[in-house]
Amino acid sequence: MKLFLDLWTVVAVVAGAFFFFAGTVGLLRFPDSLTRLHALSKADNLGLGLVVLGLLPQVDSVSAGLKLVGIWLLVLLSGATAAQWIARTFRQSGTDP
Amino acid sequence: MNSDPSFTSTARPESLLATALWRGMAFFLLWMLLMPSLKRGDLVVGVLASVGATWVSLRLLPPSSGCLRFGRLLALLPHFVWESVLAGVDVARRALLPGLPLRPGFVTCPLGFPPGFARNTFATITTLLPGSVAAGEVDGVMVYHCIDTSSPVVEQLWKEERLLARALVAGRHHG
């Protein structure tokens, strides 16, 4: 059982790291700031979710697990909110800094 | 955000107090989750942070601005988790493919949700879905930035709107 859980952790965290990598590649390759927002608001959220899912079997208490999930949800909420603000500001200013 | 301050004069005081107590308890629970410590100093900071968060939430999101049906939203959770997985895979694929398959652009998406809490929540959730990032409003109509304007983004958003209409209750109109 322990081996299975450790394996799950390795697979999920590696998959999470892959999506962080892909999000960063998008950040570097995508042509403008608005498109880069897609890379950051979607790929990184999925990456963090997979890292959290992978770490869950390794925590020693339920509250630590809830804390991890809570952090993920807070990052989702703040990422989605900030992405909208940035997108609206770019659209209204018509510039692409 | 709906920051109409007139709610305080129209909302019943007992309902405002009940909302404040519920939200305060929820914020303190969240604090205890993130900072599980029973030291007096930590608890004092936690209570102060919860009171501050409750005050800000009542200013920005008055009880009359609409509400979430948490049970129904929870029932939709698997759908949105799956959609956000698809969104991450979609962006990762576009970022890594050599040809960089992008057709970025804006689309307008008229919504049934009135401006305020319901529309803001919809915009936040749909920002996590494949291909769309909410980018404010023009003349009261939502604008989305799309990563691929050749995909049926607006039809997809309308589908999500029908689903979310079960869980989001719009607030009363203020005049």
pLDDT tens column, B89-128: 999 999 999 988 889 989 998 888 888 788 888 898 899 8
Measured between CA atoms, how close is A60 to chain B, in angstroms? 14
Residue B143 backbone dihedrals phi, psi, to 5 degrees = -115, 135
Domain ranges of chain A: 2-93
Mean pLDDT, rounded, of chain B: 83
Mean pLDDT, rounded, of chain A: 91
CB–CB of B34 and A71 under 8 A?
Answer: yes
Residue B9 above 50 pLDDT?
no
User: Which of A14, A25, A30, A38 to mutate: most B Cβ within 10 Å?
Assistant: A38
Residues of A in contact with B84 (CB under 8 A): 42, 45-46, 49
Residue B6 above 90 pLDDT?
no
Q: Quick check: A81 and B120 in contact, CB under 8 A?
A: no
Residues of B in contact with A67 (CB under 8 A): 33-34, 36
pTM of the complete model beyond 0.90: no
Residue B20 above 80 pLDDT?
yes
User: Which of B30, B56, B83, B127 to mutate: most A Cβ within 10 Å?
Assistant: B127
In SS3 terms, chain A reads as: CHHHHHHHHHHHHHHHHHHHHHHHHHHHHCCCHHHHHHHHHHHHHHHHHHHHHHHHHHCCCHHHHHHHHHHHHHHHHHHHHHHHHHHHHHHHHCCCC
Q: Quick check: B169 and B118 in contact, CB under 8 A?
A: yes
Residues of A in contact with B36 (CB under 8 A): 63, 67
pLDDT of res. B121? 86
pLDDT of res. B17? 87
